[in-house]
Amino acid sequence: MRTPHALELLLLVYAVTTRGDFGVTERSQLWARAAGIYMWPDKGASVAVSRQWEHLEKLGLIERRQHGRLKRIVKRHEIGQVGNMTANYTVPTGTKSDVYFRVPFTYSREDWHRKLNMPGKAVLMAAMSRRKETFTLPQDTRGARALGLSRHTMARGIEELLKHDLLVKMGPAEVVDGRAMRGFEWVLTYQLAKPFNINLSKAEVERRAAEERGPLTPQDDADRHNGQPG
């Protein structure tokens, strides 16, 4: 939360490293300008960018390798450092055990990386990771912590996204809660606005398709079992 520029650099690395050793070699001035860290073409860019790379490397999210006079940035597995170990990056498969989400290029092209403060960015990423059309954003301490945030960050981030019309309040939904006296509670749900509403799980896509088709008639059900197109 205290190093927003590190987040921007990490997102840029993910955007441009798609194969091979998942590494990229560029001058510090280019990284600094692209991430909005430092705009002047002098040695200050190297210092500013180097601090952010060092932070990401300590978290186990990247590895720095010498490449001539420059540094090659190689992304590591997104789980980061576990103990003293990090893992090689692997391409997401889309399976249920391999959860991931996409950040649209509009995030940078429309300057959302500059318009949003860190709480707004954090909640935006958390919301995209839900991979549902309508979802909850828990604002209690335990629920927010499950998404890697504090409840204060969650509340500020939601407020910021609502202000920018990137998040839309929906109706309340009944959610199972073993700690509640009745075994459930009513919570507010949200939807992401375009262009950030692109991350839907396979199950969510199938659910939406089923809703658009409407309920099956007896004949439709018989055709499906007989292998006939519906």
Q: What percent of the chain has pLDDT over 70?
A: 86
pLDDT band at 81 (very low <50, low <70, confident <90, very high): very high
User: Residue 37 and residue 53: Cα distance in Å, rounded?
Assistant: 12
12-71 per-position pLDDT tens digit? 999 999 999 999 999 999 999 999 887 777 778 899 999 999 999 999 999 999 999 999
Per-residue pLDDT, 173: 76
Distances, alpha carbon 220 to alpha carbons 108, 213, 227, in Å: 46, 11, 11
95 pLDDT more than 80: no
153-204 per-position pLDDT tens digit? 999 999 999 999 999 999 887 766 656 566 666 788 999 999 999 999 888 8
The encoded tokens of residue 81 equal 């450092």
> Rounded to 5 degrees, what are φ and ψ at 97?
-85, 0
Q: Record the pTM.
A: 0.83
